[in-house]
Amino acid sequence: MSYLDRILDNGADRDEWLTSRRTVIGASDAAKLVKPESLEKYVAAKLKETSFSGNKFTESGDVWEPRLLSWGAIPQNRHLIHSPDEPGFAATPDGLKVTPEGIVLAEVKAKHNRIVFGPTPAEIRQVAWQQFCVGPEVLYTDFIWGEIVNDQLRDLEPKRLRIYPGEMTEILAGILTIAVPMLVRLRRARAFEMELLAS
């Protein structure tokens, strides 16, 4: 099954995308899944999730994201794509390019007023989850970041780290240890919500 057959939302309407995302464990959720003993805390945080309208940093990110993707020659992606085996696991990579060999993903970050040397552990988990959700056709992810100082790109060009799915095996296993029971609890809680609304 192609990733095109697994699109939960095309991202054309942000409110609809947020509604679709609320029902799944997404990449930004997976980025936080570190301690199995904190499972109930993760579930509670997801259940009380509210729509985030953004701030000055997300607005700047919206400006820089297309530029960083253009530099990496990877088209922007808005699709919320669920994993091949579980529609409750999904992700929206920033960039996605189909090649004859397979799929190339991109995750881009605008780093404001700081110098960094690569992705944080949370960003690595985010990439691992995106690769998992898009599926086995993924060749690699280009993690692209720009260091933005005074609204200008430091060193005149972004930086890039290429991350392969084979490097993410242990990290993904750790995420799934938490994500699988988390999804069970989320579905149970949402089913109870629906029963209350129907009564």
Token pair belonging to 199: 């009564």
- Quote the DSSP letter at residue 149: E
Q: Which amino acid is at 1?
A: M
Alpha helices in the chain (DSSP H): 14-22, 27-30, 39-47, 56-72, 121-134, 169-198
Residue ranges covered by each domain of the chain? 3-198
- Is the pLDDT score of 81 beyond 70? yes
Q: Say if CB 143 and CB 159 are below 8 A apart.
A: no
42 closest CA partner among 194, 186, 187 = 186
Kindly report, residue by residue over 128-184, the tens digit of the pLDDT: 999 999 999 999 999 999 887 776 777 778 889 999 999 999 999 999 999 999 999
- Give pLDDT, residue 143: 97
- Give pLDDT, residue 46: 95
**Beta pairing partners, 25:** 89
Kindly report, residue by residue over 10-67, the tens digit of the pLDDT: 999 999 999 999 999 999 999 999 999 999 999 999 998 765 555 454 555 577 899 9
- Give pLDDT, residue 132: 99
What CA–CA distance (Å, rounded) separates 101 from 98? 8
86 closest CA partner among 135, 40, 13 = 135
- Give pLDDT, residue 57: 47
Task: Please compute the mean of the pLDDT values over residues 175-199 and round it to a whole number.
Answer: 89
Q: Say if CB 146 and CB 110 are below 8 A apart.
A: yes
- Classify burial at 153, counting beta carbons within 10 Å of its beta carbon; exposed 0-12, middle 13-18, buried 19 or more: middle
- Give pLDDT, residue 59: 55
**Domain 3-198 CATH class label:** alpha beta
User: What is the separation of C-alpha 5 from the centre of its chain, rounded to a whole number of angstroms?
Assistant: 19
Torsion sign across C-alpha atoms 194, 83, 53, 39: positive
127 closest CA partner among 3, 30, 12 = 30
